[in-house]
Amino acid sequence: MKLMDAAELVKQPPDVTENPYRKLGQEASVGKPIPAPAEESACQFFFDLSEKQGRKRSSTGRDNRSPHPKQPRKPPPPPGPCWFCLASPEVEKHLVVNIGTHCYLALAKGGLAEDHVLILPIGHYQSVVELSAEVVEEVEKYKATLRRFFRSRGKRCILFERNYRSHHLQLQVIPVPLSCCATDDIKDAFVTQAQEQQMELLEIPEHSDIKQIAQPGTAYFYVELDTGEKLFHRIKKSFPLQFGREVLASEAILNIPDKSDWRQCQSSKEEEETLARRFRKAFEPFDFTLDE
C-alpha cells in the first residue's frame, strides 16, 4: 500500500453500491455539521490520506478510538489450589469482612493487630502489576475508604505488597495508632532496616504507577504510607519473607517484635469469627459497596 498512489487507494472497486447507512447517519446527526462527500470518501478507508501516511484509523474515521467498548480482561485461572481466590474451597470465608465487585477485604490470619486486613482481588492475579483497569480502580477505592475508616479511629494505615514467593496478590493494610509515631518515623524505619539488610528501598513519585516501574513477573516489595509516599525495592535474588511485618512490629513503630511472624499469632476460629463480626459492624458506615 505504501507503493500505491493516493488515487489508487481511494479508487472504488467495480460494482460498488451506495452505502445504505449514509442517509440514516445523516438523519441521526440533525444539528451537526455533515461532512462533504469528498471528505467522507477519504475517511472511509483504514488509512487517512490527509494525515501522515501509515497512521491507522478506526472504522469510524476517528483516531485511536475503538468502535466497540473494550471487554474487561478476565483473570487467568490459578495453576492449582489457591487460598485467596474467593471461589476457591480453600478460602477461610469466616475471615472475609467485605466483598466488592472485583475485590474483597479479609482479616489477616495472625494479624499484627485485630483490624489488620488484606485487600485481595476476587479473581486470580499474582500482583498489582497484573491487575486489569477495573480491578485497580476498586483497589484504590478500598485504599481511600480504609484510610478514612482508620483515621476516624485515631489510626493511620500502612500498605505493603510482597510480590515474591506468593501466588495471589495480598495487599496488606496495617493500622498504626497516631499516638505511636509519625509517618516520617515509619518511613525511616523501613529505609534503615532495608539498609541493614543491604537492600535498596527507593522512594518513587507519589502519583506514579507501579506498572511503570515493574513488568509482570518482576519480583518486588512495595510500601505505601498514609501520606501517599511510596517505597519500592526490586527483588533480584532473595528477600526476607517477613520484612514488612518485622519493620512494623519493631520497637520504633508498634513495639511488638514477638509478632513479626504471623505463625506466632494464631487465634482460634471462634476468636477470628468474633474479630470479623466486630470489624464488619465498625466498617459498615464506610462501606461504599452498599451504595452500588
Q: Do 190 and 163 contact (CB within 8 A), yes or no?
A: no
Report pLDDT for 72.
54
Report pLDDT for 44.
36
Q: Percent of the chain, pLDDT > 70?
A: 72
> Which cell is 237 given?
535474588
Convert the pLDDT of each residue in 233-289 to its tens digit.
Answer: 999 989 999 999 999 999 999 999 998 888 778 889 999 999 999 999 999 999 999
Q: Do 142 and 119 contact (CB within 8 A), yes or no?
A: yes
Report pLDDT for 39.
42
Helix (H) or strand (E) holding 230: strand 230-234
In order of start, what are the domains of the chain with their CATH numbers? 93-264 (3.30.428.10)
Residue 220, pLDDT > 90, answer yes
pTM over 0.85: no
Torsion of CA 265, 271, 272, 278, to 10 degrees: -120
